[in-house]
Chain A
């Protein structure tokens, strides 16, 4: 079945450092890929997504590129802020488009940014 593997945390960075959180996936066909962020005590919020190979999702300074050849969707940000401290989840949906397909999540990576 489908699966998502992301780097285990916690990750601790100083403010303005470069962030990379690795994510690789296993799926048949052409899945959609997502990054969600969960702030303390809150639910998940969509951070960015990509629906086909070579697409780049971006939002709030975060980027991730859908790499089909390496089955990866690594999350990057050039300069993190304290407010970026949260848990980040990589996820996939088996198909693109507007259907009711379940998401498969990675285990999450906790990021702590210190001043």
Chain B
């Protein structure tokens, strides 16, 4: 079945640095990628939606200059958390959808801790 590989699974970074999270679709072309953030004991909150080759559409309240999303190819999307702060510590999950496919495939998530 469809697989999305997300890396890294865990990352600890210093406040003020940037962190890049990658999601790769291994056996299908991800025309749309969704990026979610999950706080402890909370649900997944959609941050942005990106279509291959287009600019991402961000949800209200999500800073597009802080959370940079690139979806340059049909198999790779990246989320870069710029100038990270402790309040950015969270679990980030990507979800991919292929054109013509009625399903969503999730990555395994990235636990970001900013110290």
A interface list, Cβ under 8 A from B: 36, 41-46, 51, 89, 96-98, 100, 102-108
Contact = CB atoms under 8 A, between A and B. Distances in A.
A100 B32 contact: yes
Interface of B: 4, 6, 9, 31-32, 34, 41-44, 46, 49, 51, 93, 95, 97, 99-104, 106-109
Contacts of B109: 42-43
B104 A103 contact: yes
Contacts of A106: 43
Given A102-B46, A103-B34, A106-B43, 18 more contacts: A42-B108, A42-B109, A43-B93, A43-B107, A43-B109, A44-B44, A51-B102, A96-B102, A97-B102, A98-B99, A100-B31, A100-B32, A100-B49, A100-B97, A103-B104, A104-B46, A107-B42, A108-B41
B49 A102 contact: yes
Most chain B Cβ neighbours within 10 Å, of A44, A98, A105: A44
A58 to B, nearest CB: 16
A73 B95 CA distance: 22
Nearest to B45: A105
B108 A43 contact: yes
B43 A100 contact: no
